[in-house]
Chains A and B, each alone.
Chain A
Amino acid sequence: MEDSRNTSGFLRDHNYSTEADIISTVEFNPSGELLATGDKGGRVVVFQREQESKNQPHRRGEYNVYSTFQSHEPEFDYLKSLEIEEKINKIRWLPQQNAAYFLLSTNDKTVKLWKISERDKRPEGYNLKDEDGRVRDPATITTLRVPVLQPMDLMVEASARRVFCNAHAYHINSISINSDGQTFMSTDDLRINLWNLEVTDSSFNMVDMKPVNMEDLTEVITNAEFHPQHCNTFAYSSSKGSIRLCDMRDAALCDKHSKFFEEPEDPSNRSFFSEIISSISDVKFSHSGRYLMTRDYLTVKVWDLNMESKPLETYQVHDYLRGKLCSLYENDCIFDKFECVWNGSDSVIMTGSYNNFFRMFDRNTKRDVTLEASRENSKPRAVLKPRRVCVGGKRRKDEISVDSLDFSKKILHTGWHPSENIIAVAATNNLYIFQDKIN
């Protein structure tokens, strides 16, 4: 079905997992040439796809480490006596405008704009200092020369160009770059703020869900994203399972939504945990801008922007967990926030599950597949074998029973190349990159 190549591309290839190495976000850049990952330790690792070369066809399109930098450090909020985690919650790439690459990375409180640029030349032949940088004695200088740029080993530098801070009282869960290329928004549990990429000392509040009395709080914002084409439109999801579409032209404060998407709850499915499992953990516009995809604990839903009453399509990710919600609540897994992604043509959607499984749903053929990201199953050039979970009754030979699933191995973050069938799957502290090879 699908060729795969395992590129566990982290610098530290540990067998034991240190918590700082746990990947917390994965994002391809708009061209797909770069892939960024953020981890719990506040680091960002950027991979670059190798140029295809005739000399080494088998290494065509492999991703290798391009740059690593410490994006965020742990901080202490003295006023609230709280530690601010350095974990990178989201990374978003800016569209490329010149030779340098720009990305936004955020932790719970601060968004940073990073510039990643290459340096492959350096000036040599200074008059006032020698090659080691030591200052020359002016008395020894008898001639003047013009420094020339000489080639050097490629160096990739990352520098923080902007720091957007002090705008969020609650924890930032998402950032989204506007199609206008000039603004972006950052979202916490209760507020969405709009920034200009050039201005760090002020931001505009667009949505404020904080009630006058916090005891009246019933709903928080879980995610927000700008429409891919319409720079005036954005959507945000809530813990109640609804999505609101807002038009920034209506008013400065977008508390009133222009569209409200919510599916009425199925009363037969009601349980103690109905509120938890209906909370939306991710929302993504399709590349076309016509559809919205949402992920809650057990399903992925595709919504047509023109139909607010119910989703266009609903896909069961791991419905066999519905009967296990009590145990999943006990071990905290029920609070896991899974993300979801579209492929380039919006025909296939992908999301993660437990036991290092991830699922793909083909919207056209209605076929779905479960695959596993693990070292044992992913030797280079191996074909990934579909996995099956046995939901009851007799377990077949290659099936795995629900009770044997490893809930500590969860795939929360995945990425899909913007135009090709290349996917990045983060399994705790390992990154897997799979490619579809057409020979």
Chain B
Amino acid sequence: MDVTAEAKQIMVQALGKMYSSRSQRGGLRLHRSLLLTLVMKSARDIYHSARLMSEKSGQSVTEESTSHTQEPMDTSSSTATPLRETSGQSSEDGQRSGLEGHPHPLNPAADKENCSPSRPDRHSRKRRSKTATDSDFIPCKKAKLECAEVRGVLQNSSANCGRALDSLSLVPMPRTIVTF
């Protein structure tokens, strides 16, 4: 499973780079963020198609290893839902990765717990607001931590604190993650 391991490594690194670029001087670089998003997308496509290949050949060993890898995989943006599927949905999962998203036809009830709240427009594949996909979305926690750190820095500095703090809480991170 070289390809899936490599793909996963690339995705994890991309995420790491994106988070570290938030604290970089000069702010987020759009070009770099875009390239990282594209790399993640490539890696994710290859990861899914490689998983699909292996699952079609019916290797149970592969499923075991990939279910373990779902933990870090859950940190990726719009594929959070498909990846949280139970192993019984494996073939559905593989199909979904290749197509535009659509609601599960099979046992939706079993997945309600893990699914994001009601998604009537799931097929549009637009990324939902942060609150909808929050829960134990690890990146979100880290972002808040960084906000708090920055806030601390602002409070300590002699800069225009009041307005800066106000705008900080409202500033959305540029959403350059491209959905497909």
Chain A: residues with CB nearer than 8 A to chain B? Answer: 76, 78-85, 87, 108, 170-171, 173, 189-190, 213-220, 222, 239, 272-276, 279, 326, 329-330, 332, 335
Contact = CB atoms under 8 A, between A and B. Distances in A.
Given A76-B159, A78-B160, A80-B171, A222 B178 contact: no
Interface string B1-44: 00000110010010001000000011101111011001100110
B159 A78 contact: yes
B31 A222 contact: yes
Given A78-B159, A214-B176, A335 B32 contact: yes
Interface string B54-72: 0000000000000000000
Contacts of A279: 31, 35
B171 A335 contact: no
Contacts of A215: 126-127, 175-179
A239 B34 contact: yes
B35 to A, nearest CB: 5
B30 A189 contact: yes
Nearest to A238: B31
Interface in B113-157: 126-127, 150, 154
7 contacts: A81-B167, A171-B29, A171-B30, A215-B126, A218-B178, A275-B38, A326-B10
Interface of B: 6-7, 10, 13, 17, 25-27, 29-32, 34-35, 38-39, 42-43, 46, 126-127, 150, 154, 159-160, 163-164, 167-168, 171, 174-179
A222 B31 CA distance: 8
Contacts of A275: 35, 38-39, 42
Chain B CB within 10 A, most for which of A170, A214, A215, A276: A215
Contacts of A82: 26-27
A239 B126 contact: no
Closest 10 CB pairs of A and B: A82-B27, A85-B26, A275-B38, A189-B30, A81-B168, A276-B35, A220-B31, A272-B42, A78-B160, A214-B175
A85 B27 CA distance: 9
A272 B43 contact: yes
Contacts of A171: 26, 29-31
B153 to A, nearest CB: 10
A83 B26 contact: yes
Given A78-B159, A215-B177, 17 more contacts: A78-B160, A78-B163, A81-B150, A108-B26, A171-B31, A215-B127, A220-B31, A239-B34, A272-B6, A272-B10, A272-B42, A272-B46, A275-B38, A279-B35, A326-B6, A326-B10, A330-B13
Nearest to A81: B168
A273 B7 CA distance: 11
A329 B34 CA distance: 14
Chain B facing A: main interface SS: helix
A211 to B, nearest CB: 10
Nearest to B38: A275
Chain A facing B: main interface SS: loop
Contacts of B176: 214-215, 217
A86 B10 CA distance: 32
A239 B177 CA distance: 15
Nearest to B3: A272
A83 B34 contact: no
Nearest to B159: A76
Given A78-B159, A78-B167, A335 B174 contact: no
Contact of A273 (B30, B31, B39, B171): B39
A276 B27 contact: no
Contacts of A276: 35, 38-39
B151 to A, nearest CB: 9
Nearest to A214: B175
A215 B130 CA distance: 13
A217 to B, nearest CB: 6
Contact of A335 (B26, B35, B42): B35
A220 B34 contact: yes
Contact of B164 (A78, A84, A218, A273): A78
A276 B39 CA distance: 8
B159 A220 contact: no
A84 B168 CA distance: 16
A272 B164 contact: no
Nearest to A270: B42
Contacts of A189: 30-31
B21 to A, nearest CB: 10
A239 B31 contact: yes
Chain B CB within 10 A, most for which of A82, A239, A272: A272
A329 B126 CA distance: 28
Contacts of A85: 25-26
Nearest to A240: B38
Contacts of A332: 17
A272 B7 contact: yes
A84 B163 contact: no
B25 A83 contact: yes
A80 B46 CA distance: 36
A80 B17 CA distance: 21
